[in-house]
């Protein structure tokens, strides 16, 4: 099973390089991926639908507020939308692990995963 996860982490790393032009911090990426648990193996829950407002709201509530402990405000949704835009409107496979990773880096909350 860990091989499957490692394959996914490689795929996520490629997106971080290719879509966001960043060199992935593999340790953080692995922790974010593990933090998502079995959701990464589910076709539906492993992706973030950028056009679904309810989905973006879930990212804001469950990840930014609960997991990262950020203070609520318009900057949270702006950050989420910016990540979705950078990922590319035409990219249907916006991996949740990548979105969460980029947001954790953006808000300098890597420490949450230590």
Residues 6+ apart with CB under 8 A from 88: 19
Identify the CA nearest to 106 among candidates 71, 64, 65, 73: 64
pTM: 0.95
Q: What percent of the chain has pLDDT over 70?
A: 98
Q: What is the pLDDT of residues 30-81, one digit of tens each?
A: 999 999 999 999 999 999 999 999 999 999 999 999 999 999 999 999 999 9
Residue 47 exposure: Cα atoms within 13 Å on the Cβ side: 11
Retrieve residue 114's tokens: 């230590």
For residues 92 and 106, what is the distance between their CA atoms, to the nearest angstrom? 22
Q: What span, in angstroms and rounded, lies between the C-alpha atoms of 37 and 70? A: 22
- Specify the higher pLDDT residue, 108 or 114: 108
Strand partners, 51: none
User: pLDDT at residue 108 above 80?
Assistant: yes
């Amino acid at each position: 099973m860990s091989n499957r996860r490692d394959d996914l982490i490689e795929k996520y790393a490629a997106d971080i390089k290719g879509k966001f032009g960043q060199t992935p911090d593999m340790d953080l990426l692995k922790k974010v991926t593990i933090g998502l648990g079995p959701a990464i193996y589910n076709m539906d829950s492993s992706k973030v639908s950028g056009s679904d407002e309810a989905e973006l709201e879930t990212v804001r509530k469950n990840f930014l507020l609960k997991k990262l402990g950020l203070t609520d405000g318009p900057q949270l949704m702006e950050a989420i939308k910016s990540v979705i835009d950078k990922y590319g409107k035409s990219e249907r496979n916006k991996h949740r692990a990548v979105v969460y990773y980029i947001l954790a880096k953006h808000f300098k909350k890597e420490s949450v995963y230590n």
